[in-house]
A and B are shown apart, each in its own frame.
Chain A
Amino acid sequence: MSSTDVQERPAKKRRFFVDDAPVQESDLKREESALDEIDTFCVVAKQEGDEMDVKNEMEQEGFSAEDLAGIVGELVSSDQLQVLRKLSEESLERAINIYFDGSWRSKTVAQIPTITSSSSSTLSRKRVNDPSARPPQLWKTLSGSDDPHKLPLVRTRSSQNSSQSGTPRPTSQMPLQRYIGAFGVTAWATRSGTGLIKHGEFVRLERQKSQPKTKIGRGGKLQTVPSKRQDIVVRFTNMKREEIGRLENDTAVWVSALLDQEICVFYGTCVYAPEKIRSNDTIYLQLRCSMLRSAFDGGGFAKPENNRESGFFEAQETQDERNLRMRQVALVKLLEEINLHPSSSNEITDRHKRKGLLQAAEVAEQYEQKNGTQPVKAEGTAGSSPPSDDAEEGEELQQDQLDSLYKKAQSFDFNTPVAEPADTFNMSLRKYQRQALYWMMSKEKDEKSENKQASMHPLWEEYTWPLKDVDDQDLEEVENQPCFYVNPYSGELSLDFPVQEQNCLGGILADEMGLGKTIEMLSLIHSHKSDVAQQISDPTVNSLPRLPANSTSVEKAPCTTLVVAPMSLLAQWQSEAEKASAPGSLRTLVYYGSEKSVNLQTQCCEANAANAPNVIITSYGVVLSEFNQVSAAGGNRGSHGGLFSLEYFRIILDEAHYIKNRSSKTAKACYELAAEHRWVLTGTPIVNRLEDLFSLVHFLRVEPWSNFSFWKTFITVPFESKDFIRALDVVQTVLEPLVLRRTKDMKTPDGKALVPLPPRTIQIDRIELSKAEREVYDYVFLRAKRTFNENVEAGTLMKSYTTIFAQILRLRQCCCHPVLTRNKNIVAEEEDAASAADIANGLGDDMDLQALIDRFTADEGEQDANKYGAHVLKQIQDDAEMECPICSEEPMNDQTVTGCWHSACKKCLLDYIDHQKNKNEVPRCFNCRADLNTRDVFEVVRHDVVAGDDKTHLFRKKGERTEEKGVVKKKEAEKDQQAIPVKNEEPSDAPIKDESIPIDPSSQPQVSLRRLGSSSSAKISALLSHLKQERREAPATKSVVFSQFTSFLDLIEPALTRDRIPFLRFDGSMTQKARAAVLTSFAAPPAPGITTPTVLLLSLRAGGVGLNLTCAKRVFMMDPWWSFAVEAQAIDRVHRMGQESEVKVVRFVVEGSIEEKMLRIQERKAFIAGSLGMMGEEEKRVRRLEDIRELLS
């Protein structure tokens, strides 16, 4: 407590407060009570008892009505007094107990049936609703009061019996107070004197409330008392109401909280006090504690304010949250002090509970203080808030912790009943999907009917009321009320059995990717509709749509489900929704871009229910931007007419880990969407922090977990203080009723896979770099290694972490294409120079054969060389089956032509050139022995004739991307143009152009000669040969090519274009419309006359998640990622439900390069993930450096 340090017991006597303050307080109280005719207080602390002086009487036998009233806080009628006296055998102490525990009442009934009239006349009647016909009350202690802080009235048993509401609330059965235990405390004197108090004497505890905000400091200055500072002083007085001292702070902290929040009352007895008291002397007291009935009255507690209504989510604890926590700590302390143990509690939560709870609360306190000193993080700039990773709190979860969490959440019961989807649902569901439907429908309908026995809420504990008090005296039992329940996590008390129930009509569908979450959800949309929607579908009911004027309030949209998904998935949702629905049974609306002009409210409101869209699909971005608009308009949802102007029947967040950061604006925006049923779909409910889950739970509005302070106290704080098991156990109890998760590797009881997917083979294609590539690689490698070693020596490894990482990135790019690592401007200059040389000798990177022949024949020179050239080229064009002069292969493998037009297999020719170079000879043609310019070696590329090929190229026309991306792109576009030497200055050479050649009417295959190694790399070549082979064998097969470098995709594009392989591209720079178009045309079935693109280039980042690419059968992974899981996820875009044929995956890995080492690290990581325990951040870095060391070894 912040106040403890200040309010420590002083070493010397010190005056703490102005003497008359408590008197003022009590005066005030007296006035209040006067209004109520009779004092209704029973809380000793607020007691006003001037009128009596019991000190002397204490020594006598028996006690007076005043004595009793002075303690119990209310006048006791003489009849009652009589009873009490009798029962207590004239002991005041016992009488008080008897009075409060109510046990005497039953005896009153039996023994003294005549007290009624007199007592009732003295008591006020304020209950208006009291039926006047009520039989005479036997006994009534208190007047009812409108003030909730005062005790509600107690009904006597007879009144209960006659009360109209058949089953009375359990609180009404409870006596005003009920003894639960006693404990000893130490206190210290605040004054000196003799005979102030002695053993056995009663003491009363006093709280001084509502301390002034300012006080006069020593120098007469006004000092502001920090409002956060909690006053915890608990004083005690003797029976003469003379202050004697105060409780030790340890105790006072929680006793004050219990008193202030009216949970308990305490009756003190002095156990020991020195005869002559000096201030600061220690006094021992025994406190008997009784629970107040009001404590069990839910209304008596100010529950933490419902933060979702307040709209914004406060990271800081509010005062209410703080009170809640104080009460919780105090209760736990109390139960510990009086040594009362739960008679029943949840086994799991019990294990770590008590100590952990207090500890948690303490940590929470420190946490609060620590965070309080830090400036509040500035709100993200309005308008855009990607689900960023920064500003996230909470520690990361380790893989094994996640695993065990999931394992627990995955105890899927294969005997779960199934539900059949509605007729309008057009797809057949697998069994586990029908089980999901059942589960979801029962969630939405909140069927408690399940045979399950009501189990106690895991966070509650059951306590048995003690039957004997501290002096071993019997205590009165209350019928049907042997127990009470405490939630030590929230400080709530209850007399009702706390049933574990869930008040959220939705949940988390966390089936692993590929199990068909979307389909399951769509089946739910079809199968569970609101009553309004059902009426509409019923033709007998004639619905007359009345279109209301724009309402300014939030309208119900009873027929509409709102789907929020990442932009890339909008089109997929729509097409799946259409596929899954019988024609006309489902209206969908993609609410994005220009579609946003519609007024959703008028479209979807109840009056228009018959025509309302059933599914609105929108993106997180739209939700966020409308959220900003609405909040800019002062939170007026209705008049905006957009997403926030409706309360949907159901809302679904797809890929819900988008909102895992609860402080991101997107998450906040989503919290504000209103709906009856709320669902989140995600394959990974927890990405790496427990807080990820909180955000989902908060969105779902699952009480009490959606309360952040609750979450923090029981999950975050224990987790951060390394109490992993407890935190995770609690998380599990949160997850269990809320989550349905199945994984692909789950087996049904009869051992079958949940989803039989066709097999998937992964082949690693080891690439050998060309010599030139190898040289570049080796150079970059040496440089990286040098940097690393230098930093090792200098001991600056940690500091230069990023530099080293950047160099490793270069190495990886180098494996793809050396150009990626080079300065783009220099590359462009070199290419300029090279193409100038080409112009001089009439060659180009990519030449069309027909054009060359034309040129040679046109030359008409007598030069034999030209004639020969023309002849040879003609032969090539005619596809004359020629044998390789070197290896005798027929036809040649990758026919390659020298500058002197002699052909051989590519490998043979290159081998021969190498052979000669190795002998330090100038390479000469194998045939004519002319000197070979090794640059002028051309590959013969035959373009397969595909019907309608040239007119319908679907691939991107050159330069199209130029607008989209900046200067760099432009350079590349220019470069592309250089590859086709259109020389304006030399019109005679003009025909050397690849793409504009009209197809020969004789339909001769188009052939071009392409300079070897021109803007290609070993990897690209390997990819091309795979793709070409695929095209030869099964032309319709579609392939997906992933790379993590979009710049590499930029290089693959022209290579595909040159080889007439139609392709599409999907990356993060594209607009939603463009993405959708790409996905549609890629998925389109082959149609006659149209060339469908068979290759889709994807960036690993943009395309690795969510997409459904089951129309493809081949996956090419151009470059390895650090963890195979990411690659596997990408592969699963193709190898997922709906895939009908075997999927072949080729991973390209450059031999003897960093990529091979990355594979080894991948393997090791997969191995380590399961076996390593908690690793610190430092440890992780060290480990990563180990990885780097290995990479550069």
Chain B
Amino acid sequence: MALPKRIIKETERLMAEPVPGISAVPHEENLRYFDVTIDGPSSSPYEGGTFKLELFLPDDYPMTPPKVRFLTKIYHPNIDRLGRICLDVLKSNWSPALQIRTILLSIQALLGAPNPDDPLANDVAQRWKEDEKAAIQTAREWTAEHAKKA
């Protein structure tokens, strides 16, 4: 299947005007599959870490949202152990007017603003609520351990 114009344009723009702290590079053999890295936002427990994600554009994109998953281990109430992300724009609030760029920005923002009230990793969320400081500390440690820049 030929690559839709929209994907080509989005890719080109991601290359031409990259978002600071975010990179997304398509696989050569599958242009719908992107290797993504997101820098942890400053003044967040993930600061200093670089997180790897994978992003896949399904066939009916942009009618359906892209599929995004963290590859790097991360301690976050809205991201589970498999790297799956709980984010409304990736689910019910998806709109075809959103793009890869906007989605990744949303994820970056999610790192800066965890939302334990709408958890995906229940244990993490529990801890976040009970002892936020300890939770943030764990997140820092995980970042240092798993997301150190190579």
Contacts and interface: CB of A to CB of B under 8 A. Distances in A.
Nearest to B10: A888
B97 interface: yes
Contact of A929 (B5, B10, B93): B93
A911 B63 CA distance: 8
A886 B10 CA distance: 11
Nearest to B4: A887
Contacts of A911: 63
Contact of A888 (B6, B63, B93, B95): B6
Given A886-B62, A888-B10, A927 B5 contact: no
A925 B9 CA distance: 22
Given A912-B63, A915-B63, A889 B5 contact: yes
Contacts of B95: 924-927, 929
B96 interface: yes
A908 interface: yes
A15 to B, nearest CB: 108
Nearest to B63: A915
A386 interface: no
Contacts of A886: 6, 62, 96-97
Nearest to A914: B63
A926 B93 contact: no
Contact of B5 (A887, A915, A926): A887
- Of A911, A915, A924, A926, most buried by chain B (CB within 10 Å of CB) is A926
B5 to A, nearest CB: 6
Nearest to A887: B6
Nearest to B60: A915
A304 interface: no
Q: How many A residues touch the partner, as a band?
A: 10 to 19
A394 interface: no
Interface in B74-123: 93, 95-97
Main secondary structure of the interface of B (DSSP, over half): loop
A908 B63 CA distance: 9
Contacts of B4: 887
B63 A927 contact: no
A926 B9 contact: no
Contacts of B10: 888
A356 interface: no
Contacts of A925: 95
A883 to B, nearest CB: 8
A887 B61 CA distance: 10
Main secondary structure of the interface of A (DSSP, over half): loop
Q: How many B residues touch the partner, as a band?
A: 10 to 19
Interface in A874-902: 885-889
Contact of A885 (B5, B63, B64, B96): B96
A886 B96 CA distance: 5
B6 A926 contact: no
Contacts of A887: 4-6, 62
Contacts of A889: 5
- Of A885, A889, A915, A925, most buried by chain B (CB within 10 Å of CB) is A885
Contacts of A929: 93, 95
Given A886-B62, A887-B4, A889-B5, A908 B96 contact: yes
Interface string A920-952: 000011110100000000000000000000000
Contacts of A912: 63, 96
B96 A888 contact: no
- Of A887, A888, A889, A925, most buried by chain B (CB within 10 Å of CB) is A888
Contacts of B62: 886-887
Contacts of B63: 911-912, 915
Nearest to A908: B96
Interface in B39-94: 60, 62-64, 93
A908 B60 CA distance: 12
A888 B97 contact: no
B95 to A, nearest CB: 5
- Of B5, B6, B10, most buried by chain A (CB within 10 Å of CB) is B6
Contacts of B96: 885-886, 908, 912, 926
A927 B96 CA distance: 8
Contacts of B5: 887-889
Nearest to B6: A888
A924 B92 CA distance: 11
Contacts of B9: 888
B9 to A, nearest CB: 4
A915 B64 CA distance: 9
Interface string B109-142: 0000000000000000000000000000000000
Nearest to A890: B9
A886 B62 CA distance: 7
Interface string B9-38: 110000000000000000000000000000
A596 B4 CA distance: 70
Nearest to B5: A888
A885 B101 CA distance: 13
A666 B60 CA distance: 68
A927 B60 CA distance: 18
A915 B96 CA distance: 11
A927 B97 CA distance: 6
Nearest to A902: B97
- Of B5, B10, B64, most buried by chain A (CB within 10 Å of CB) is B5
- Of B63, B64, B93, most buried by chain A (CB within 10 Å of CB) is B63
A889 B62 CA distance: 13
A856 to B, nearest CB: 23
A888 B98 CA distance: 11
A631 B14 CA distance: 91
A434 to B, nearest CB: 59
A509 B63 CA distance: 66
Nearest to B64: A915
A887 B9 CA distance: 9
A863 to B, nearest CB: 22
B66 to A, nearest CB: 14
B101 to A, nearest CB: 12
Contacts of A885: 96-97
A887 B60 CA distance: 11
Nearest to B62: A886
Nearest to B13: A888
Nearest to A889: B5
A909 to B, nearest CB: 9
- Of B9, B62, B97, most buried by chain A (CB within 10 Å of CB) is B97
A975 B97 CA distance: 37
Contacts of B97: 885-886, 926-927
B81 to A, nearest CB: 29
Nearest to B92: A921
A924 B93 CA distance: 10
Contacts of B64: 915
Nearest to B93: A929
A915 B58 CA distance: 14
A891 to B, nearest CB: 13
Interface string A972-999: 0000000000000000000000000000
Contacts of A927: 95, 97
A737 B4 CA distance: 69
Nearest to A927: B97
A927 B98 CA distance: 8
A1095 B150 CA distance: 70
29 contacts: A885-B96, A885-B97, A886-B6, A886-B96, A886-B97, A887-B4, A887-B5, A887-B6, A887-B62, A888-B5, A888-B6, A888-B9, A888-B10, A889-B5, A908-B96, A911-B63, A912-B96, A915-B60, A915-B63, A915-B64, A924-B95, A925-B95, A926-B95, A926-B96, A926-B97, A927-B95, A927-B97, A929-B93, A929-B95
Interface of B: 4-6, 9-10, 60, 62-64, 93, 95-97
Nearest 5 CB-CB pairings of A with B: A888-B6, A885-B97, A888-B9, A886-B96, A915-B63
Given A885-B96, A885-B97, A887-B62, 18 more contacts: A886-B6, A886-B97, A887-B4, A887-B5, A888-B6, A888-B10, A911-B63, A912-B63, A915-B60, A915-B63, A915-B64, A924-B95, A925-B95, A926-B95, A926-B96, A927-B95, A927-B97, A929-B95
